[in-house]
Structure 1
Amino acid sequence: MRLWPRREERSVVPVPEITSGATIQEWGEFWGQGGDAVALPIVTIDTALQVPAVLGAVMFLSRTLAALPLHAYRTAEGETEKADGELQMLLNEAPNPEWSSFQFRQYFWQQVFTGGRGMAWIERNGTRPVAIWPLDPTKTTIRREAGRKIYRFDGRDYPARDIIDVPFALKPNQVDAYGPIYTCRQAIGLAIAMNNFASGFFAGGGVPPLALEGPLPTGPEALKRAYADIRRAIDLARKTGQSFFGMPPGHTLKAVGTDPDKGQMGDARLFQIQEIARGYNLPPVFLQDLSKGTFSNTEQQDLQLVKHNIGQWARAFEDELNLKLFGQRRRSRRVKHNLDGLQRGDFKSRIDGLARAIQTAQLTPDEARGIEDRAAYPDGVGARPLVQGATVPLGSQPLLPTPSTGNEGDDQAVTEA
């Protein structure tokens, strides 16, 4: 597997020779208005993470997926139950003696959402998994031998059945992977360029590049002295907080370049947040962009996050774990995330959902209390499923007592007569 380098190598672009018969495109390239004559800042993982929107997307997705409860289940005689023991410990508590489950999964997903690939090695005792160790994708190579994938890390070869491998997106050769940072490097590079320009602008006291107009002294030394005098006057005015400074008679200063406001600097930087959010298929509200957020569509973006992003990545991780931990044909055991864990901070919605599940016999009271890490009711009171008393099978007649009229004696007398 070829991983794109930390520092991208760029070739030197030759300047075209301009003649009287040059095309408009050639003239544009000569003046830096087209082609590759003007290059954006070099984008690496380290420089990309200095963009707040990229850092926010990577941290949000990796931490959200790492915080999801991950459980093992076993199916026996048509009934599925949550499995406990060593496998549950590896998945939801500690995959090895050095990493917690949250740390391991956060690191795993950070590699997916930066370089484009997360990898881990399954350590086995015979066929039984005993530990899961994260691998550094930048130091792992992949090759095919007789059609089979072989992973090489730290001088050792591993078969594909022992490697958990989740790519951001596979390339056509089914070995290399696309990474979101490298694939979206133009958008990220533009965000870096605007950040650099804004930093330089405000670091200079908000003074744009200036041009001195007027009769200039002759000779290079005299010109340098004049420049130094002007520079000294500007610096002195800035340090003393003065709003003006003296100029030589007949000279003026004129701004050079485009005013950031006229260049729509603020709007462009906001648009780059939305561009980066598109690269991660992430609703902009989760990158703190509420410029177009309303009460209703913000709530819908919360639902969109689970259905069209978190749920898909959770399924990719589940399928990889099920294949590598249990094999291709073992269908009695499986691993699954509990997406209800996303409601952990929403107490009202969580309690309302548990109450409705109890009332419709989908959960027993003890099972609902277990979800909240509370002890079961004593004497098995909460072990039986409950259902609302008004809910009966279609077509059945409720057993209602016959209403009493108070004339039972008269009816008996009529019958005897």
Structure 2
Amino acid sequence: MGLKSLFRREVRVGDATAEARAQVVADSGMASITEVLSGEMPEGVTMKEAMSLPAVWDAINFLSAAMAGLPIEVFEKTGTAGGDRRVTGGVADVLAEAVNDSTTSFSWRETFFSQVFGPGRAYTYIERNRQGRAINLFPMEHDRTSVRKVRGRLLYDYLEPSGTVKTYEGKDVIDLAYLLRPDHVTYHNPVMTCASAIRQGLNANRYALTVFGKNGVPPYVLKGPFSAAKEMMRAAADLMKVTRRAAEEGKPVLPLPSGHDLVRLGDDPEKMQLTPVQVFAVGQVARIYQLPPVFLQELSKGNYNNIEHQDLHLVKHTLRRWVEKFEQELTLKIFGRGARRYVKLDLDGITRGDFKTRIEAIVRAVQNSLLTPNEGREMMKKPPLPGGDTLFIQGATVPLALAGKAFARGAADLAADEEAAPEEGADADQEPNTD
């Protein structure tokens, strides 16, 4: 049935009945759009809903991958002038290469930090041999783990898929939370804590989907001289069919009978500044995770200079915090208190993709005796060369005290040379000897 045949029906209007002005919504999105406009949307969010917001998804993925990509090493304190010694093999290989027989270090850390930045806390069980050395790390699912405190010590109850519950002592569980509460048992979930800000972004996306969904046909109200609810429902059904068919066939014109009007439901997206609202939602997520907006692909106000400074902000104020927390947690749980060995993450590894900057930094360190050439080659994954274990320094750079002595010695030598040399032009002024 077409739209023309629909409006061939005549409506009888008696003297006691005024002409009815009925509104028929020509799209099934009426409920969602009215919820958005009336503010009846729920304020809380679930983890699944939050992850559907691109900014949240991007923030969690970016931070997790950034922490997983940092080189991780184990060092041993020597107390000598030569510095701490880098440890290879054993637990160093477990942390840097494969945490167990089926999981790489990168995969484990990426999943681990996705739990930290998502639900807010991540756990990993440490398997030890008879000598107490860590030989494997096994991730613990967040939803299956509960934490409790007994006599000031933390215990972790883990629900196995089989239904049994295993309890692990705190010293055997790597535990990292986004932000712990004072009891160190409960914690703040970044998504749930800032649910209203994330909900704002979700509402903006939902409104945009409602407006631009259904083949690009936004919700409309059909106004006309209807007198019964059945006629309104039939009009709505026929109108939906006709508009959908017009959209599929690419017809830009939708005819309406005389006396009827099709009005958009809700406000104009352009007047509501829908795009700026979505940009603001990205900024809110950036604040939650302390991320510069450029790392959430928000470049509306980005330029070369401020993007470069945002790189520095990322390392100094965002990643460094998590690097230190992770290093201390791994050192404490794997080696124990007061151990000579410790875990170190190399933040310089984040510049691996910037070859020019990395090379310039290594060259400067070698020229200023901070690194030997072979140490610089090791950072570039190059084999050592003979004679490369010697510290070098540029010849023009000397200690200040020596520079002063050298200046004084040079001035004295210059004065002596001037006294020994004849005065300029002395031979020309002397009278020739005619005898």
Of 228, 240, 254, which aligns to 2:249? 240
Match of 1:203 in 2: 213
SS in 2 for 1:178: coil
Alignment: residue pair count? 374
Q: CA separation of 1:207/1:390 partners in 2, compared to 1, >3 Å: closer, same or farther?
A: same
Q: Deviations over 1:157-202 (max 9, x none)?
A: 1111111111001123320111112222222222222222222322
SS in 2 for 1:127: coil
Which 4+ residue blocks in structure 1 deviate beyond 4 angstroms? 31-34, 397-400, 402-405
Match of 2:348 in 1: 340
Letter paired with 1:291: S
Match of 1:164 in 2: 174
- Any conservation in 1 of the 2:181–2:188 contact (CA below 8 Å)? yes
Matches within 5 A, 1:49-88: 49-78=51-80, 79-88=83-92
- Any conservation in 1 of the 2:125–2:140 contact (CA below 8 Å)? yes
Of 387, 397, 412, which aligns to 2:393? 387
- Any conservation in 2 of the 1:40–1:186 contact (CA below 8 Å)? no
Matches within 5 A, 1:274-285: 274-285=283-294
- 1:90 equivalent to 2:100? Answer no
- Any conservation in 2 of the 1:230–1:247 contact (CA below 8 Å)? no
Q: CA separation of 1:253/1:323 partners in 2, compared to 1, >3 Å: closer, same or farther?
A: same
Letter paired with 1:327: G
Matches within 5 A, 1:166-205: 166-205=176-215
Match of 1:112 in 2: 116
- Any conservation in 2 of the 1:68–1:339 contact (CA below 8 Å)? yes
Q: CA separation of 1:232/1:123 partners in 2, compared to 1, >3 Å: closer, same or farther?
A: closer
Q: CA separation of 1:190/1:98 partners in 2, compared to 1, >3 Å: closer, same or farther?
A: same
- Any conservation in 2 of the 1:41–1:193 contact (CA below 8 Å)? no
Match of 1:5 in 2: none
- Please state how far the C-alpha of 1:32 moved relative to its aligned partner: 8.3
Between 1 and 2, higher relative CO (CA 8 Å, sep ≥ 6) is seen in: 2
How far apart are the structure 1 equivalents of 2:102 and 2:298? Answer: 37
- Any conservation in 2 of the 1:41–1:192 contact (CA below 8 Å)? no
How far apart are the structure 1 equivalents of 2:353 and 2:57? Answer: 23
How far apart are the structure 1 equivalents of 2:84 and 2:376? Answer: 17
Letter paired with 2:153: R
Matches within 5 A, 1:259-270: 259-270=268-279
How far apart are the structure 1 equivalents of 2:89 and 2:239? Answer: 77
Of 136, 150, 155, which aligns to 1:150? 155
Q: Percent identity?
A: 37
Q: CA separation of 1:92/1:222 partners in 2, compared to 1, >3 Å: closer, same or farther?
A: closer
- 1:47 equivalent to 2:49? Answer yes
Of 336, 345, 350, which aligns to 1:327? 336
What is the alpha-carbon root mean square deviation over aligned residues? 2.7
Q: CA separation of 1:338/1:219 partners in 2, compared to 1, >3 Å: closer, same or farther?
A: closer
Of 353, 358, 376, which aligns to 1:368? 376
Letter paired with 1:127: G
- Please state how far the C-alpha of 1:48 moved relative to its aligned partner: 1.7
SS in 1 for 2:125: strand
Q: Deviations over 1:189-248 (max 9, x none)?
A: 2222222222232222433322222322x3333333333443343333323322222222
How far apart are the structure 2 equivalents of 1:227 and 1:334? Answer: 70
How far apart are the structure 2 equivalents of 1:33 and 1:357? Answer: 58
SS in 2 for 1:170: coil
How far apart are the structure 2 equivalents of 1:227 and 1:92? Answer: 63
- Please state how far the C-alpha of 1:149 moved relative to its aligned partner: 0.9
Of 317, 327, 330, which aligns to 2:326? 317
User: Structure 1: where are the runs of 5+ without partners?
Assistant: 1-30, 411-417
- 1:219 equivalent to 2:228? Answer yes
- Please state how far the C-alpha of 1:43 moved relative to its aligned partner: 2.3
TM-score by length of 2: 0.80
- Shifted more, 151-160 versus 229-238: the winner is 229-238
Q: CA separation of 1:235/1:67 partners in 2, compared to 1, >3 Å: closer, same or farther?
A: closer
TM-score by length of 1: 0.83
Q: CA separation of 1:37/1:327 partners in 2, compared to 1, >3 Å: closer, same or farther?
A: same
Letter paired with 1:307: K
Q: Deviations over 1:266-290 (max 9, x none)?
A: 1000110010111100000000111
Greater Rg, structure 1 or structure 2?
2
